[in-house]
Copies of this chain bind each other. A is one copy, B any other.
Amino acid sequence: MTTMYKNVAYDGKARAGVVTTAHGEIETPIFMPVGTRASVKCMWQHELEEVGAQIILGNTYHLYLRPGHELIEKVGGGLHGFMNWKKPILTDSGGYQVFSLSSMNKLSEEGVRFQSHIDGSYHMISPEKSMEIQRALGSDIVMNFDECPALPATKERLRESMELTLRWAKRCRDYELKEHQNLFGIIQGGLHFDLRTECMERLTEMNFEGYALGGLSVGEKNEEMVEFCSDFVHTMPKDKPRYLMGVGKPLDILTGIKNGLDMFDCVLPTRNARNGQFLTHHGPLNIKKERFKEDTLPPDPDCSCKVCSNYSRSYIRHLYNTGEYLAGQLISYHNLHFFLDMTKQARAHIIAGTFDEYYKTFYNNYTSNQWT
């Protein structure tokens, strides 16, 4: 099988590439909007295309519970048909939500037994069950089922977790997915370089179609994560996509790109939107603030999106303050456009060999925090 990743350019450690799937190509580096329950919150599918989304995420845990993977396969032949999204989809394994959302969960060699956060019913997700669900969802990129311990954790605990994750990875690898599906291995090991390296090497022997860094951005300090990425990412396989799971803020993503990562996802642009936060080229802007009451400027004057071309801060502040649905719609749209424009620009600058310059300018503007 040929690799799904093709490199286009390097600029330092940063890299631009193309990831090929049955539902189309993805130009990397790329940000992936999160469509937890078969919907990126407040966004129509055609709006996702408008803001430049090339691939979106679905959550195995949520879709398993509601409406159920069997229904999605029966009704839509998978998630693509069910939600009418024609471009690539990545599904997570359900592991993270089982640990973070379920009120009760019990870990064993077999998998995780847990209670639904919705109705308290009992369920078991094992590596095989996670693969069964993701197979039914028909995602282009499938994540293996891993354990994700909260940091800080002892090295001993992290090693145990890593060993379990590796045994589970083997069981996922042995599961037969659909022809078009690609399985990614998840590298665990906390901030320990040696553990991560060992995990990566042992996963590489199983020959996954891509590799993800899991268990970061779950409690450790930001600088620690940045430093770890700087040291580690360039040692990852060069011929496979590299995915930093659940990260994150604009500068974290840009730093990830600088270190050679290709794929990123985070609920931040849509979740913060519903709290009134615009991400802008000059830092986060909280639309609730009194200072924007009569402000006729667009949310981000350096942005060309449909929101910034049509609506003023004053108007959106009014919508937000009166609880109008349109506020969440407008801010989500802009924020996703902002993230996707950022990864698009980063790619163009990597290809042009000017990424460092782009990084510095973006960093300086973003940290100027004009709106605090």
Residue of B at shortest CB range from A310? B84
- The residues of B that contact A322 with a CB separation of less than 8 Å are 37, 62, 66
- Which chain A residues (36-56) contact chain B, with CB distance < 8 Å? 37-39, 41-46
Q: At the interface, yes or no: A319 with Cβ under 8 Å from chain B?
A: yes
Contacts of A311 in B (CB 8 A): 84
A319:B75 contact, CB within 8 angstroms: no
Minimum CB–CB distance for A14 against chain B, Å: 35
A12 within 8 A of B: no
Q: Please tell me if the beta carbons of A325 and B38 are within 8 angstroms of each other in the complex.
A: no
Q: Which of B41, B310, B314 contacts A75 (CB 8 A)?
A: B314
User: CB of A228 within 8 A of chain B?
Assistant: no
A286 at the interface (CB under 8 A from B): no
Interface pair A38/B75, CB less than 8 Å apart: no
- Contact with A294, one of B41, B75, B321 (Cβ below 8 angstroms): B75
A82 touching B315 in the complex, CB below 8 Å, given contacts A325-B328, A328-B325: yes
Interface: A71 (CB within 8 A): yes
* Any B CB within 8 A of the CB of A326: yes
On whether the beta carbons of A38 and B315 are closer than 8 Å, the reply is yes
Q: What are the residues of chain B within 8 A of A321 when measuring CB–CB?
A: 66-67
| A83 in contact (CB, < 8 A) | yes
Contacts A75-B294, A75-B296, A293-B71 known; A41 to B325 CB distance under 8 Å? yes
- Nearest to A330 among chain B residues (CB) is B44
Residue among A75, A306, A319 facing the most chain B CB atoms (10 A cut-off): A75
Q: How far is the CA of A315 from the CA of B75 in the complex (A)?
A: 9
Q: Which residues of A contact B (CB under 8 A)?
A: 37-39, 41-46, 62, 66-67, 71, 74-76, 82-84, 293-294, 296, 306, 310-312, 314-315, 318-319, 321-322, 324-326, 328-330
A83 to B314, CA, bound (A): 10
Q: Which residues of B contact A310 (CB under 8 A)?
A: 45-46, 84
Judging by beta carbons under 8 Å apart, are B324 and A41 in contact? yes
- A39 in complex: contacting residue of B43, B84, B319, CB < 8 Å: B319
Find chain B residues with CB under 8 A from A41 CB. 324-326
A330 cross-chain contacts in B, Cβ below 8 A: 44
30 A-B pairs whose Cβ atoms sit less than 8 Å apart in the complex: A37-B318, A37-B319, A37-B324, A38-B318, A39-B319, A39-B326, A41-B326, A42-B325, A44-B306, A44-B329, A45-B310, A46-B310, A66-B318, A66-B322, A67-B293, A67-B314, A71-B293, A74-B294, A75-B296, A75-B314, A75-B315, A76-B312, A76-B314, A76-B315, A82-B315, A82-B318, A83-B315, A84-B310, A84-B311, A84-B312
Chain B: CB-nearest residue to A42: B325
A280 to B136, CA, bound (A): 32
- Specify the chain B residue showing the minimal Cβ separation from A318: B67
A59 to chain B, nearest CB (A): 11
Q: Which residue of B lies closest to A65 (CB)?
A: B322
B39 touching A314, Cβ below 8 Å: no
Could you tell me if B38 and A71 are in contact, using CB atoms closer than 8 angstroms?
A: no
Given A45-B310, A66-B318, decide whether A71 and B294 contact each other with a Cβ distance below 8 A.
Answer: yes
